[in-house]
Amino acid sequence: MESIIEKDVQQKYEGIKIQHPSLTAHAEHKFMAGSPDGVAEWNGERFLLEFKAPYTLYLEEKPAIDANFVTTDTKGQTTLKRQNNYFYQVQGLLDIFDLPFCIFVVAGFDDFLYIRIDRELDFFATRIFTQLESFYFGAVLPELAFPMKRRGGLRTALVPFLER
């Protein structure tokens, strides 16, 4: 669906230039990285593009595009729910790519929903970074150094003999 969504974006934003960056590390925290659906330039602005085509929208004959992850804000605008994983994903990517906003496009049954999500400068530092840092250093790095696949896979603490 990404190519179909991207074609719709190109029609909506005439003259848009879209790049597809590969996995890119955070400038300061190299162990964190992200790969967005696109980084765009249009009318002198650079921004992130993220596309979603949730399978749940196709389960009903005429499903509502609002699903479980969008809501209406105080101004009556459709926006992404702050507690949703997509919101965290977008805020993380905005920080990694140092961009001001994201155009989040949801493909529905027969239309597309466009949501602008502005970067919240402190969101990454206060809501995402600490958890990701703990997960990386407490689970991913030890697993890379001492694989435990035969004994149940990724663990959340250092191997016991390292604590002696």
Residues in the chain with pLDDT < 50? 59, 62-63, 156-164
Domain spans, the chain: 2-120, 126-159
**Residue in 40, 36, 52, 48 with CA at minimum distance from that of residue 4:** 52
Whole-structure pTM value: 0.79
pLDDT at residue 154, as a whole number? 53
What is the distance between the alpha carbons of residues 164 and 160, in angstroms, rounded to a whole number?
Answer: 7
pLDDT at residue 124, as a whole number? 86
What is the distance between the alpha carbons of residues 7 and 147, in angstroms, rounded to a whole number?
Answer: 42
Model pLDDT for residues 8-28, shown as the tens digit of each residue = 999 999 999 999 999 999 999
pLDDT at residue 125, as a whole number? 86
The answer to whether the beta carbons of residues 35 and 74 sit under 8 Å apart is no
Amino acid at residue number 8: D
What is the token pair recorded at 124?
Answer: 């990454």
Q: Note the CATH architecture for domain 2-120.
A: Alpha-Beta Complex (3.90)
What is the distance between the alpha carbons of residues 68 and 126, in angstroms, rounded to a whole number?
Answer: 25
What is the distance between the alpha carbons of residues 39 and 129, in angstroms, rounded to a whole number?
Answer: 22
Amino acid at residue number 161: F
The sign of the dihedral angle between the CA atoms of 64, 70, 73, 75 is: negative
> How many residues appear in the chain?
164
| DSSP symbol at 102 | E
Q: Where are the alpha helices (DSSP H) in the chain?
A: 2-12, 85-97, 123, 129-135, 141-145
